[in-house]
Amino acid sequence: MEFEKVLENRKTVREYTNEKIPSSMVDELLNAAIRVPVGMHNDEGYAIVSISDEKILKSITEESIKSGAKKDPLYGVPLVIIACKTEKAIENLVDFDCGIIVENIHLKATELGLSSVILRGFVGHLGEKAQYLKLFGLGNDIKPVIAIGIGYAKKSDSVKPSKRNFKIIRVEG
């Protein structure tokens, strides 16, 4: 898919089928995640966790609801990828770098015909001491920053024109 088409088709989806994502596609998404520029070339500052285990995804939802979430914070996605920081992360770059990691995954998902949704709520709400983190054996030095849920959309809405209306300021010489 041409890049302009990826940008045009990319949108956030919040309703998914339970169809599993093929392992080869997960590999492509993870490859997109690691092909980002990170500040100071600090690859050791980040870890990427891919979760497709239904029990773990269910436990994240249950823990979130017990902690006050009103609905499934994962929207029923069959795959969650979490961008994490390590103790070697440069703190003032973490949010930018993890945002870029997740955006690359977001765009790759669109190219592959998948849908996605940025997930910050459960990561921020449950924090670094969340019980679900123990289920996949992260050490104390790896902390979640932001996640993305990926799957097949329940409905295939036609692409709508962007409603974004950012102020653009051009300074030219």
Structure confidence by residue, pLDDT tens digits, 121-159? 888 888 888 888 888 777 788 999 999 999 999 987 655
Measured CA to CA, the distance from residue 19 to residue 151 in angstroms comes to: 7
**pTM to 2 decimals?**
0.91
- Tell me the CATH architecture of domain 3-157: 3-Layer(aba) Sandwich (3.40)
Dmax (CA) for the chain in angstroms is 57
What pLDDT sits at residue 162? Answer: 67
Q: Provide the pLDDT for residue 134.
A: 85
Is the confidence at residue 160, as pLDDT, over 70?
Answer: no
d(CA 90, CA 72): 32
Ranges of each domain in the chain: 3-157
Structure tokens at 55: 């029990």
How much is the average pLDDT of 90-99? 96
